[in-house]
């Protein structure tokens, strides 16, 4: 059977950076996010005897065994095959409507779409919780893209990882005015992928313990702020949490610097506007793009100001979005 799924990306409002268990892909700390309409991956999966190996095409480029991209997809298909008792290989064709692997969480929407589509194509009937756990194995942040609106990914306590999955904090309708303006600084693929970068931080950053213990407390606070719709406290916490995560990355040996001069140009503009009493905050993931958090009422004003900055090539506007959905138009 051939199944096509669209999945949204998500942005961590309080992040994870470090896996407690590399095999089970469980995080050191719980973390929170909002699923984003505006950054999406479409994926078609077909299991069939006619394929003598898995085939993977992303944005019109075919990837082969041995490349990180292919192996990631093939490992995820293997998990689904095992669960379904299936032997057939699959063809997977995927398209992102935003820059791949440059800090727009393409792995989150990508692995969520792949897991959802592959599970359906293999005939599995799984709960959102189950799909979140399987997505987690492909990419940690993908576990959160299964959820509509605002989510928490529980770090879990169990040795088997069965209690580490994402769950809804609040639905899309709770806060439809919430906005993210993704400022595109560079479309180049990043040098250090999150998976390798965070593993190195766990081993070598002298502030790793302070980072993840603070991030756990931040996640608990963030849940309350989302429920209360306290935008200013949420923005401040998201910003502080992001800076500590990057401090942890930067203090890794060798250092991991995701920020470019343009990343800082946007940061300083946001801080200047904050000082003038505006409701604007920033967060950054494993890449150079500065993501601005604001409310719908201020979008036009902030877009105009940000687009005038030399380093901002483009601005992608996103709002709270839904989890994966099946569509009828296949990619092959
Ligand atoms: O799970 P990955 O490999 O997509 O890594 C995500 C890492 C960050 O985006 C920096 C943080 C997060 O919680 O999303």
**CA 144 to ligand 1: nearest atom:** 14
Q: Which residues line ligand 1 (CB under 6 A)?
A: 12, 15-17, 31, 105, 107-108, 139-141, 194-195, 285-286
Q: What pLDDT score was predicted for residue 279? A: 98
Q: What is the dihedral of CA 170, 168, 33, 76, to 10 degrees?
A: -150
Length of the chain: 332
pLDDT averaged over every residue in the chain: 96
Cα of 126 vs centre of ligand 1, distance in Å, is 24
Residue closest via CA to ligand 1's atom 10 equals 285
- Distance, CA of 328 to CA of 276 (rounded, Å): 48
Q: What pLDDT score was predicted for residue 31? A: 98
Average pLDDT estimate for 79-91? 98
- Distance, CA of 312 to CA of 308 (rounded, Å): 8
Confidence of residue 103 (pLDDT cuts 50, 70, 90): low
- Distance, CA of 106 to CA of 321 (rounded, Å): 15
**CA 285 to ligand 1: nearest atom:** 10
C-alpha angle 227-246-241 in degrees, rounded to nearest 5:
20
Q: What is the chain's percent helix, strand, coil content, to nearest 5?
A: 40, 25, 35
Q: Decide: residue 275, CB within 10 A, 0-12 exposed, 13-18 middle, 19+ buried.
A: exposed
Cα of 285 vs centre of ligand 1, distance in Å, is 7
Cα of 107 vs centre of ligand 1, distance in Å, is 8
Q: What is the pLDDT of residues 236-275, one digit of tens each?
A: 999 999 999 999 999 999 999 999 999 999 999 999 999 9
Contact by Cβ (8 Å): 26, 20: yes
Angle, in degrees to the nearest 10, between helices 208-228 and 194-204:
120
Angle, in degrees to the nearest 10, between helices 231-250 and 194-204:
70
């Amino acid at each position: 059977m051939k199944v096509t799924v669209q999945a949204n990306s998500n942005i961590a409002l309080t992040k994870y950076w470090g896996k407690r268990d590399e095999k089970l892909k469980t995080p050191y700390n719980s973390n929170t996010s909002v699923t984003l309409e505006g950054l999406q991956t479409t994926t078609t999966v077909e299991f069939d005897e006619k394929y003598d190996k898995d085939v993977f095409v992303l944005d019109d480029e075919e990837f082969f065994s041995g490349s990180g991209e292919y192996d990631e997809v093939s490992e995820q298909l293997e998990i689904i095959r095992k669960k379904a008792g299936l032997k057939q290989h699959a063809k997977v064709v995927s398209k992102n409507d935003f820059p791949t692997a440059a800090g727009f969480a393409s792995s989150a929407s990508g692995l969520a779409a792949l897991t959802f589509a592959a599970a359906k194509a293999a005939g599995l009937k799984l709960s959102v919780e189950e799909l979140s756990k399987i997505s987690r194995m492909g990419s940690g942040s993908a576990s959160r893209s299964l959820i509509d609106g605002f989510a928490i990914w529980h770090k879990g306590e169990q040795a088997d990882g069965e209690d580490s999955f994402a769950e809804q904090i609040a639905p899309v309708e709770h806060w439809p005015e919430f906005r993210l303006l993704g400022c595109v600084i560079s479309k180049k693929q990043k040098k250090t992928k999150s998976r390798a970068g965070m593993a190195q931080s766990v081993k070598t950053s002298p502030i790793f313990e302070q980072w993840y213990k603070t991030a756990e407390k931040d996640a608990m606070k963030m849940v309350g702020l989302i429920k209360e719709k306290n935008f200013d406290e949420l923005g401040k916490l998201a910003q502080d949490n992001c800076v500590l995560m990057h401090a942890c990355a930067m203090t890794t040996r060798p250092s991991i610097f995701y920020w470019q001069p343009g990343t800082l140009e946007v940061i300083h503009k946001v801080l200047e506007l904050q000082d003038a009493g505006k409701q604007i905050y920033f967060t950054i993931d494993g890449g150079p793009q500065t993501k601005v958090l604001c409310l719908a009422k201020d979008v036009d004003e902030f877009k105009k100001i940000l687009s005038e900055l030399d380093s901002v090539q483009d601005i992608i506007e996103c709002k709270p979005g839904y989890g994966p959905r099946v569509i009828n138009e296949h990619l092959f």
